A and B are shown apart, each in its own frame.
Chain A
Amino acid sequence: MKTKNSENYTKWQKSFEQETKIDLKEASSETDEGIEIKPVYTKADIENLSFVDNDSLPGQFPYTRGPKASMYTNRPWTIRQYAGFSTAEESNDFYKKNLKSGQKGLSVAFDLPTHRGYDSDDDLVMGDVGKAGVAIDTVEDMKILFNDIPLDQMSVSMTMNGAVLPVLSSFIVAGEEQNVNKNLLSGTIQNDILKEFMVRNTYIYPPDPSMKIVADIIEFTSKEMPKFNSISISGYHMQEAGADNVLELAYTLADGMEYVRAALSKGLDIDDFAPRLSFFFAIGTDFFMEIAKLRAARTLWYKIMKDFGAKNEKSLILRTHCQTSGVSLTEKDPYNNIIRTSYEALSAILGGTQSLHTNSFDEAIALPTDESARIARNTQLILQNETGVTNTVDPLAGSYFIESLTDELSKKAWEVIEEIESLGGMTKAVKAGVPKLKIEESATKKQAKVDSGSRVVVGVNKFKNPKEPKVDVRVIDNNRVRDDQIKKINDIKASRDQKAVDESLAKLVTAAKEDSNLLARSIDAIKNRATVGEVSKALEQVYGRHFATSLSVSGVYGKHFEGDEDFMNVTKKVNIFEEENGRRPRVLVVKMGQDGHDRGAKIVATSFADMGFDVDMGPLFQSPKDVAKDAIENDVHAIGVSTLAAGHKTLVPELMKSLKEIDPKSKIIVFVGGVIPEQDYDFLYKNNISAIFGPGSNIIESAEKVIDLISDKIHKNN
C-alpha cells in the first residue's frame, strides 16, 4: 500500500531527475568521512535511528540537543579568544584591552619553549622565545600575566600539556599571591597529553609517565579546586592536523575514556571528577557536519559515561569549547577568512558550544594584530547581539537531514572507538602510532583534493584575486624578548633561597620515584621560585624525554593523481634526472627548533616521494647544526625547511652558517615552506634561500620548481 509520503517521494524523484538529468542514485555526494549526502532527506531518514532519540529535549539525556535546558536563551556562549605572545607584560596589556572590548573569558597561549619545558635561556630554544605565545619562566611571569585581572572572578583557560605541572603550579601560586585561594580559581587546564603524541607535539615525557601526570592533576583538582576543569579533551588539534570529523570525534572520545580510566585507577569515584572533564572541538567549513558533530559528541559521551557507571547527571554531560578552523583560512586573499570564520562560528553556535574562539583573518600569516583580533571578536558579538541565534535552543532539531547526519556520524565514530578499544585503549594505540598515521592519511587526501582542484578553495585554486591586498603583521622581536626573559630569570635566581629550591626539587624527584602526587610537590618548588625549566628537568631525570617515532603514509597522494598530466610531467622530469645524474633528486625535509607543526612537512614528504623523489625525513626539534650534519652526510641536493612558528629569521640563517661550517663549498640548495609573512621574503632571499613556498602552495607545482632549481644548480656547477 502506498502512503502519501512515498507517493510524494516518487513524484519528487521524477522532477529531480528531470531537472538535473541525473539518476537520483548518482546524485549523492560523499564527504571526507565517507558519509553519503543525499539531495533530499525525508521523515523516513529519522525513523529507527541508533543513537539519536527524536523525543528528547535540551538538557535531557542523551543531551543531543544541548547540555542545558535554556542554553543561550539564558546566557550566551562565552567569547573566549586564545591569545598570548612576547612577554607577560605585553600579553597582560593585550588581555586587558580585549576584556574591555567585550571578551568574557581568557585563554592563554604559551610560547613553545614553555610548552616543552625549557626556560628562555636554554640554547635549544634560541629562535622560539615569545614567538608563538607568551614566555613564562617563573611564577613572577605568571603574576605579571594576570596583573589587575582578579583570578577569583575571571575564568582562565590554559593550553598547557607537556609542562602542565610547573605551569598549573605557577597559576595556583599566582592566585595565592593575589590572595585568591585555589578553591576559588575557575577555568580549564588542557592537560590532554594523548593528542600531543598524536598531533600537537608538545609532549615532554614518554606516554606512561605522562598519563600518570594527567591522573595526578585530575586527582588534585577534584579534591582542591572544585571550580576548575581538570582537563580539556581536545579533538581540535586533530582536525587541524587533517583528521576528518569521524576521526576527530572518535579519537577525542576514546581519549576521554582513557583519562577516565586513569583517574579511576587513582581510586577516585567517577562522579567526583567526571563533572569537571571538558572538551574542545574544531569547527571547519563543512557547515552541517560540524553541527552534527557537536550533537553526536554529547550523545556518545552520555552513552560512554553511563557505561562507566556514572550516576551524577553532571558526569553524563559533555560541555565543550570550540574554535573555528585555522587550517581552513588562507594566506591568499585573506579578507575571505572573515567570511569563512563567520560561517564556522554559526556552525558552532547551532551545534550548541559553551564557549568559542573565532580566528583572525591573518591566521595564515602571523599572530593576530590588535585590528584583526578586534574583527574576530566582533564576529561573535554580532552573532550574539544582532542575528537572533540566541533566542531558540537547538533550532535545527527535527531537521531530517541534521538528525540523520547526527546519527550517521555517531555510528561511524562508534565503530572507530570500538576499534581503538580493541587495541587496548588510546595509550596503546598512540604508542603504536596508529591514530597519527590515520590522521596523516586523511590530511594527505585533503591536500590532493585541493591540489587537483576537485575541492575549491576560493582565492587559492579558483577565483584568485589579481590584486592581493597588503596586510599589516604583528612582529615580535624574539631576541629582545629573550634578553628580557633571561634578565628576569637571572634576577630571580640571584634573589631566591637556593637551598629551598634544591630541596623542593629533590622532593619532587622523590615523589616521581615513589609515585605520589606530583602537583602538590611541584607547587612547593614553584613557590620557592624554581623555574618552569627546572621543574621539568627534575622530572626528566626520572622519566626521560620522549622522542616520537614517525611513520609515513605512502601512495595516498599519488593515487589521487593517476593519469594526471601535471603530475606525470613531474615524474617524467624525475626519471630523466635519474638517468642524467645516476640518482634521483634527493631532498631533506626538516623541522627546526620547537615548532611542532608537522602536517605540512609530512604531506610534502610523502607527496614528493610519490612523484619519485628520494626524501629524507628529519625528526622534530632539530637544531640547525643537526640538520646540516644530516644534509651533508646524506649528500642531499636540497633542504626543504618547513617552518610555521615564526622561528625562521633566527633558524634559517643559522642553518646556512652550519652548512658552510661543515662544508665551505656546499652546493646544497635550501628552500623554505610554511607560514612566512611576505615582509620576510627579502630577508630570506638575502640569506641565499632559493625559493619560498607559502600556505596554499600546490605541491605538484612546488615539486616541479624544486627539481628545476636542483637541475639548474647542477648545470651551473658543471
Chain B
Amino acid sequence: MDIDHTYEAIVIGTSAGGLSALTALLSILPSYYSLPIIIVQHRSKDHQNLLEEVLQSKCLIKIQQAEEKESILAGVVYIAPPNYHLLIERDYTFSLTSDEPVNYSRPSIDVLFESAALVYANKLIGIILTGTNRDGSEGMSVIKQYAGLTIAQDPKEAEFPAMPLAAIQAHVIEQVWQLAEIQKFLINIHADNEKR
C-alpha cells in the first residue's frame, strides 16, 4: 500500500491474547521509532507494572506507562495504566480519568481511540488486535470518521477473534491484516518518515 501522507501517532487496542500480539509488533521496532505508539490493553488492576516490564524485556523501543498530563513523544510506547481511562489532550498530553468503565473495561479502547481521533484526525493510525469483547469498534468508527487509517488483525489469525471481528462487522476497518503485514507496515511508515 502506498503511504500518501505523514502519520503522527498510532493507537492500538487489544484484550485477551494481547501480550503475544503486542510483543510480535513491538519487538521488531527500532529504539528510535519515529511515531508515538499509545496502547490500551485490558488488564487487571492487581498487577500495576507487570505488562510494561514484560514487554520492555523483549523490545528495544522504550515502553512506559502513560502518566497524567505527560507530554507525548515520538519513539515511546505508552500503555494505559490499570483502572483508569486514558485520554489525549489537544496539547499532546495525556489525561487519566476514573470515569465509569466502558464495555466493562477501564481502561477502555473506545475512550482512548475517540479522544485520539479528535486530536490527530487523518494523521492517526488505529489498530485493533486479538480480544474477547467489542471494545474498540466505536473508537475505530470515530477514527474513520476523521479520515484516520483503521487496521484490524485478521480474525482468522487472532488468538481471540471477537474483537477485530466486531470492528470489521461494523464496517469501519480499511485493512484486515495478519501480524506479519502489520509489522511490515509499521516498518514502512517509519522508513517513510525518515526520508521526509
Instruction: Please indicate whether A and B come from the same complex rather than being unrelated chains.
Output: no
Q: Which residues of B contact A (CB under 8 A)?
A: none
